[in-house]
Structures are given as C-alpha cells and as structure tokens.
Amino acid sequence: MTAVESRPAGVLPESLGHRPFGARVKAFVALTKPRIIELLLMTTVPVMFLAAQGVPDLWLVLATCIGGYLSAGGAGAYNMYIDRDIDALMDRTAQRPLVTGMVSPRECLVFATALTVGSTLWFWYLVNPLSAMLSLGANAFYVVIYTMLLKRRTAQNIVWGGIAGCMPVIIGWSAVTESVSWAPVVLFLVMFFWTPPHYWPLSMKVKDDYERAGVPMLPVTAGNKAVARQIVLYSWVMVAVSLLLQPLGYTGWFYTIVAAVLGGMWLKEAHALQGRAKAGITGAKLKEMRLFHWSITYVSLLFAAVAVDPFLR
C-alpha cells in the first residue's frame, strides 16, 4: 500500500504542515473541477445566442457564467468531499486537495455549501428564479443521485448521473427567455447521449483505478467488446438527435451541415474503436483515448455552430 493509500483521507501529511497561501488558493480552485466547468460553460453560452437569435445581453451572459461556475464548483467540491476515500485509491485522483491534505474535509464541506447557496442566490437575483431552481436541481442531482446513490452501485452510473451535466443548456436558454422550449430539450438530449461515449473510453483507459476503488464503471463490469458496442449505440442516437433542431425550426443550413459532418466523423471513430475491441486488441493499441479527445472537440464545434447559426439565417 502506498503512502497515499495508507493515510486517512483529509489527514495533512507532515511535509504539508505549512501550507503556502498560493497553494491553498490553487487547492480550493481545484475543488471546483475547473476543467469540467469549462465544458459546461462551453455549452451554456452558445445556447444563449440561439435563444436570443443573435447576441444576448452580455451582462446576462456574464452573470449566467459566474452563477454556473459557482453552482458547478459547489457540486464538484461536494463530490470530492464524499469521494475522498476512493480518490485516495486511484492514481488519477491521488493528488486531489482532500487526499493530499491541502484542504481539510470540514473546509471542503463549508466551501461547497457556500458556493451552492451563493450560486442559488446569484441566479435568483441577477438572472431569474427559474434558472436558480434549475441550477440548484442540477447540483442536487449530481451530488445526491450520482455521487451518493449511483456511482458505487451500478454500471449505469455515468448514464443517469450525466443528467446534471446536461442541465447547463436548459439553464442558458432559461436565462434568456425565462422559459423552456424544445430547442434546449433537444440539446439536453444530445449531451445526455454524448456523456456515456465520452466518458466510457476514459474509463476503459483507467479501468484498473476504478476496479481498485470498487467503483462499478461499465468497463469494470463488462469487457471491451460490450463497452464498445454501447458506445456505438449511444453515438448513433446522439447524432440522430443532434439533427432534430433544423426540422423543428430552431436552426438553419449552417448548423445542420456542421452537425452532420461532425456526427459522421464521430461515428467513424466510434466504429473504429469497436472494430479494435472486437479484434481483441488491448493496451495502447486499443487507442480508446482517441474517441475521448475527439468527443471534446465534437461538442465544442457543435455548440459553436449553435451560436453562429442565428447570424446566418
């Protein structure tokens, strides 16, 4: 057992007895999972352009982004507080602030609560009450349904837990219109079907981490062939759903062309991964991370097209 594994989560090692202010600030920022929040905001802002059919009020965009960061950051901090025991067992999470002791569990819990309460009030008074309730609901779903109930109990954890990550598109729309319509629902579904084939390749790569921590991610409970088959299935549904905006009258030719081209490229990668899995290829030659990295490019370009399309109609 390593030193990280043998030390109770949240216990400050002697070498960190003096914690520099700058390092502490970085640790609290890390609690918010900023890389994930970048992706969430990347889907929020373009939807606001679509809802406004042009340039939305820029103060509203800024207020929504700040509120979204605070809310998602609070959910991320709660997640690290709850998962600090298994984070200490996995290589990819062994340097998280609670595991290293840079932040104590109590500090993390207070921080998470402050961000959650603050974000709800921020949305309520500076955006609108509907967005505030949607944001709070997404936070609660991620913390309670995904982290506490699903993650350690079912291989379908990321499927249903991913709902929280789909909510920013609805929040972005509601921030502009103070309502919900079919356009954000369609984009919500795109993100819902995107999440498993985005995350499962990464789970395949770090399968040993999840197995050691006792987390039943699909690659742990099923073989590569079964996982790749599920990836292809979800990918086809995702691409089909992404093409619904034009028939429903929300987008024009530009978005439709971009969605079709990006979808075709995604399906090529997904089927290639399935082909390698069927051939029994394992290790580095499986190249599962190609789809993971492409998935981020896909969603970035797709939502960029969502933002640009209103100006070309």
pLDDT computed for residue 5 by the predictor = 40
Tell me how far apart the alpha carbons of residues 62 and 82 are, in angstroms, rounded to a whole number.
Answer: 30
* One-character DSSP codes across 7-36: SPTTPPPGGGSS--HHHHHHHHHHHT-HHH
- Domains within the chain, CATH numbers bracketed: 23-178 (1.10.357.140), 181-313 (1.20.120)
Q: What is the pLDDT of residue 272?
A: 96
Q: Is the pLDDT of residue 126 over 80?
A: yes
Higher pLDDT, 6 or 143: 143
d(CA 162, CA 158): 5
pLDDT in tens, 180-214: 999 999 999 999 999 999 999 999 999 999 999 99
Which tokens hold the place of 32? 């918010």
pLDDT at position 38, please?
Answer: 83
Distance from C-alpha of 200 to C-alpha of 10, rounded to nearest angstrom: 29
Of 13-27, 37-51, 97-111, 285-299, least confident by mean pLDDT is 13-27
Query: Residues 250-262, buried b or exposed e (16+ Cβ, 10 A)?
Result: bbeebbbebbeeb
Q: What element of type H or E holds 75?
A: helix 58-82
